[in-house]
Amino acid sequence: MQGKLEVGEHQFDVETHRENETILVSLNGKEYAVKLEETEQGFTVMLGGNELHVEVTDEQKDHLRLSRSTDVSVDGHLVSTLFRPQRSNNLQASVDEGDMDEGSVTALMPGTIMRILVEEGQTVASGDVLLILEAMKMENEIKAPLSGVVESIAVEEGKPVNKGELLVHIEAENGEAVEGEEG
């Protein structure tokens, strides 16, 4: 996975690779070996001899997956965090980066669109299920990141999609797309 990570006032170019139980994380070109353990409250991150306790809710995880800013607790301190995945070249060609905003719902993983549960012009509330994406033999509900009107549906039932591919675009309730990277 590659992208840009913003933690507080700091920005990093990030690239990760998994090797057995260790995740190799490159931050601005410097590589670190990280062990990640999921806990009830979030994660324990072991980096060298240091251990960080990151508290993050499922909702906050969704915000990060959807490239939305969220506050997470790192060793008891709230830190504003935002991750923007790097899009593949073929996605860059098909979707102009400037057109992505918080109403842009993208595939979190490659898979097949099983069902589309909304129509263009339909009003949806934040958290409403928009479509079902099958990936690795599991059906995943893709939910609306915000309330508004379904402006466009970029996929078809039964067709494969790539990670990061635009699925649906929602125009925010107030009539204007919310400024931001991707949602």
What structural domains does the chain harbor?
2-85 (3.30.700.30), 90-172 (2.40.50.100)
pLDDT value, residue 97: 44
16: left (phi over 0), alpha (psi -120 to 50) or beta: beta
pLDDT at 181: 35
Whether residue 62 is predicted with pLDDT greater than 50 in this model: the reply is yes
Is the four-CA dihedral 71, 170, 115, 86 of positive or negative sign?
A: negative
143-177 per-position pLDDT tens digit? 998 899 999 999 999 999 988 899 999 998 765 44
Spatial contact of 111 and 162, defined as CB atoms under 8 Å apart: no
Phi-psi region of 169 (alpha: psi -120 to 50; beta: other; left: phi over 0): beta
Rounded Cα distance between 152 and 155, Å, is 9
pLDDT at 65: 66
Q: How far apart are CA 161 and CA 74, in angstroms?
A: 34
Percentage of the chain lying above the pLDDT 90 cut: 31
Contacts for 39 with CB less than 8 Å, ≥ 6 apart:
53
Q: For position 175, what pLDDT does the model report?
A: 52
pLDDT of residue 138: 86
Q: With contact defined as beta carbons under 8 Å apart, do 85 and 67 qualify?
A: yes
